[in-house]
Amino acid sequence: MTQATVTSKETELQASANLPATARVVVIGGGAVGCSVLYHLAEMGWSDCVLLEKNELTSGSTWHAAGNCPNYVGSWTMMKIQSYSTALYRKLGDLVDYPMNYHVTGAIRLAHSRQRMEEFRHVQAMGRHMGVEFEEMSNADMQAIYPFLETHDLYGGQWDPLDGDIDPAQLTQALAKGARDMGAKIIRFCPVTGVERINDEWKITTPNGEIRAEYVVNAA
C-alpha cells in the first residue's frame, strides 16, 4: 500500500468520524460563497451548521478567481451586496485574527461616449445613498493622476475610491476560521453524492455516511 493510499484512507476515516448525524443547515461547497454562507449563519447564531467540501477549501473556482472587488454596478441590489462585502473585507482580518491580502487601490473608469458618462452619473447618484462616493472626473483630472493616459477620444471618467482586490483563498480561509470560531463545522474530503427530501427534512448522502438537515444550501 502506497503512502498516498494510506493518507487517502486516513482522510476518509477522519471525515466519517467527524460527520454528525444531524444539523440545522448543511452547506455544500467550500469555496468563498459556501464559507461566506457558513460564516454569516454562525454570526446570526445558527452555529448548528455543517459545511461539506469534496476536497480542500478553495480548490474549486475560488482557487483561480481574479479577486477584483469593485463597487461599480448599475443594480441597487448588487451595489448593496458589493458595498457590504468591501466593508466586511476591510475589517475581517482583525475580526477573525487571520492575515489577508486586501488592497484598496481605487480605480478610474473611462467614458468613450456621452452615454457612458450619463451611466457614470446614474451610478454615482446610486452610490451616494449607499455611502460609496464615486467622483466624476474630467480628462484633465485623470491626466493629473495618470499623465500617460491618452484622452483625445474620452468624454471623462469616474473615480471609485474603494475599488481594490483581495486574495480569494485567504478570504475563504478567514471566513472559514470565523465560522469555526463561532461553533460551525467544516468537513473536508467529504463529497455529497445525493440529496433527498424526506418528509420535513433533507437527507444528504456522502461516502462517509448520511446527515439529516432542516435546510440545505448548494454552494458547489
Position 10 scores a pLDDT of 58
Position 220 scores a pLDDT of 92
Position 5 scores a pLDDT of 47
For the whole model, what pTM was predicted? 0.88
User: Furthest-apart CA pair in the chain: how many Å?
Assistant: 69
b/e code 32-50 from CB counts within 10 Å (16+ = b): bbbbbbbbebbeeebbbbb
Q: What is the count of structural domains for the chain? A: 2
**Residue 57's domain is classified under what CATH number?**
3.50.50.60
131 & 112 share domain = yes
42 & 94 share domain = no
Position 182 scores a pLDDT of 98
pLDDT along the chain (220 residues), means of 10: 51 66 98 98 97 96 92 92 94 96 95 98 93 94 94 96 95 98 98 97 97 97
Q: How far is Cα 134 from Cα 131, in angstroms, rounded to an integer?
A: 9
Q: Residue 42 — left, alpha, or beta (φ > 0 → left; ψ -120 to 50 → alpha)?
A: alpha
**189: which 3 cell numbers?**
474530503
Mention every residue, 6+ apart, whose C-beta is less than 8 A from residue 31.
57, 58, 60, 61, 62, 172, 219
- Domain holding 138, by residue range, is 68-166
72 & 161 share domain = yes
